[in-house]
Amino acid sequence: MTKTNHMMKDRYMKPNGNYTKNIPIIMSILEKHFNYTKRTTLNRMRKEKQDPFKILISCLLSLRSRDETTEKISNELFKIADTPEKLLRIPLKRLEGIVYSTGHYHKKALTLKHVSNELITRFNSKVPETREELMSIKGIGPKTANIVLNFAFNQPYIPVDIHCHRIPNRLGWLQTKTPEETEKELEKILPREYWFEFNGIFVLFGRTICAPISPKCSICPVSRYCPKRGVTTSR
């Protein structure tokens, strides 16, 4: 390694062993590279201030589904059911057929029906606005609850999925084993100004560059700030 490289490594990668000091510069670089508001379904819905019920249903459909598929199927579903009552009236087999291509269609159809029923019977057909109430509905986990609170109600929660868990660990911001732990740590180290955009940017970053297996470190815009913790192979 050249002297210059050593200096750069020292300056950017080992500031007292505290990589969190790089958060503002990393966030500002990633903001420029990933115009997430145009590229992820849920973020577009948030920008368009769509109905909380639609955001909740699209979020449930998006689990283990490609973004384009989520958007297409959400739009098809909302043409015939844009309220909990209408969704509940769709026969199960027909609903399974509609959501089929998002994967896990049987489980998802059951979840959509159960959630709709809960909204009607317990929440006056409205999506509740607290984490406790949302997570009291079977089928709604911490990530979905945070997405709804953040995207539909503009509340300061950080939705953490596998990308939002993996990448901050690689960047050395934290050392956690589960998305739940990551959420708690991020709440301590991530300045609030980034809480709303963090999920959209990191999901896109994880899908395109910082992939689960063999991330594309050679073209990564924040490579110089990254200790690549846990990365064994990269491109």
Judged by the rule CB under 6 A, the positions of this chain that interact with ligand SF4 are 167, 170-171, 209-210, 215-217, 220, 222-223, 226, 228, 231, 234
Nearer to ligand SF4, 157 or 202 (CB): 202
46 or 166: whose CB is closer to ligand SF4?
166
For the CB of residue 20, give the shortest distance to ligand SF4 in the complex, in Å: 14
CA-CA distance, 110 to 112, in Å (whole number)?
A: 6
Residue bearing tokens 């896990």: 104
Q: How far is the CB of 234 from ligand SF4 (least distance, A)?
A: 6
**At its nearest, how many Å lie between ligand SF4 and the CB of residue 215?**
4
Closer by beta carbon to ligand SF4, 113 or else 165? 165
Task: Say if residues 135 and 141 touch (Cβ distance below 8 Å).
Answer: yes
Smallest distance, Å, CB 100 to ligand SF4? Answer: 34
Residue nearer to ligand SF4 on the CB measure, 13 or 120: 13
